[in-house]
């Protein structure tokens, strides 16, 4: 007669359910049904195991310098566009203010990031923000040529489906609703000069 190995208290049903050869590998995602059986401490330990390794001070400094460089470049471009005054703003005023915030945050992170232990090392998932930035830049570049409707629709679909992993149904419904709302607000209601196709 084979003895059954002991399991920790509260783990019996889960261990028994997984003993039939379908036990997940270490680090593998846990089914949603099993997550309900976890205590907050077990969930915290699971998330700690699954998170990417810490980035370290060099990576923190590098990312801070990227933000700082982008902020300075945007600062220069906004000044070239013209600032104007608060009463009569030129096109570069709001980009100038946002660029100042970027520069300040980049400097703050550069100084204080050495003590930050929450930053994560770059992984494959780190490409998602870059993809979002590139698609946003493409939308801005295409808007003067073909209007905002089609580029905005494509942007919503890419962000929701491929970056957000939403279902095709919710992606298409929400994307169409967002573009329709923007069209109704900026073209029909406010009659702004935003480039539009229809």
CA dihedral 112, 47, 67, 104 (to 10 degrees): -40
The alpha-helical segments, DSSP class H, found in the chain are: 12-18, 32-35, 40-50, 57-81, 93-112, 127-146, 149-157, 168-182
Mean pLDDT for the stretch of residues 129-151: 90
- Residue with token string 């261990």: 15
Mean pLDDT for the stretch of residues 61-81: 89
Selected residue with higher pLDDT from 185 and 4: 185
* CA distances from residue 58 to 54, 129, 139 in whole angstroms, order as listed: 11, 20, 33
Selected residue with higher pLDDT from 45 and 10: 45
- Predicted pLDDT at 38: 75
pLDDT digits (tens, 9 = 90+) for 78-102: 998 888 888 888 888 888 999 999 9
- Predicted pLDDT at 189: 92
Query: What does the buried/exposed string (b/e) look like for 36-59 if buried means 16 or more CB atoms within 10 Å of the residue's CB?
Result: eeeeeeeeeeeeeeeeeeebeeee
Global pTM value = 0.51
Mean pLDDT for the stretch of residues 121-130: 75
- C-alpha triplet 178, 179, 180: angle, nearest 5°: 90
Confidence of residue 160 (pLDDT cuts 50, 70, 90): very high
- Predicted pLDDT at 11: 46
- Predicted pLDDT at 158: 94
pLDDT digits (tens, 9 = 90+) for 97-122: 999 999 999 999 888 876 666 666 66
Between CA 173 and CA 177 the distance in angstroms is 6
Between CA 163 and CA 128 the distance in angstroms is 6
């Amino acid at each position: 007669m084979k003895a059954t190995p002991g399991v920790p208290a509260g783990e019996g049903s889960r261990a028994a359910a997984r003993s039939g050869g379908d036990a997940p590998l270490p680090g593998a995602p846990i089914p949603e049904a099993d997550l309900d059986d976890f205590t907050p401490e077990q969930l915290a330990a699971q998330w700690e195991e699954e998170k990417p390794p810490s980035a370290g001070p060099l990576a923190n400094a590098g990312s801070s310098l990227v933000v700082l460089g982008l902020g300075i470049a945007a600062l220069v471009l906004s000044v070239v566009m013209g600032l104007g005054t608060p009463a009569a703003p030129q096109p570069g005023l709001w980009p100038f203010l946002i660029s100042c915030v970027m520069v300040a945050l980049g400097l703050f992170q550069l100084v204080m990031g050495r003590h930050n232990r929450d930053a994560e090392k770059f992984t494959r998932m780190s490409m998602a923000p870059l993809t979002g930035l590139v698609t946003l830049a493409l939308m801005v570049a295409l808007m003067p040529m073909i209007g905002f409707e089609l580029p905005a629709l494509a942007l919503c679909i890419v962000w929701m489906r491929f970056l957000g992993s939403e279902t095709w149904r919710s992606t298409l419904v929400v994307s169409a609703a967002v573009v329709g709302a923007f069209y109704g607000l900026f073209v029909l209601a406010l009659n702004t000069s935003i480039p539009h196709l229809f």
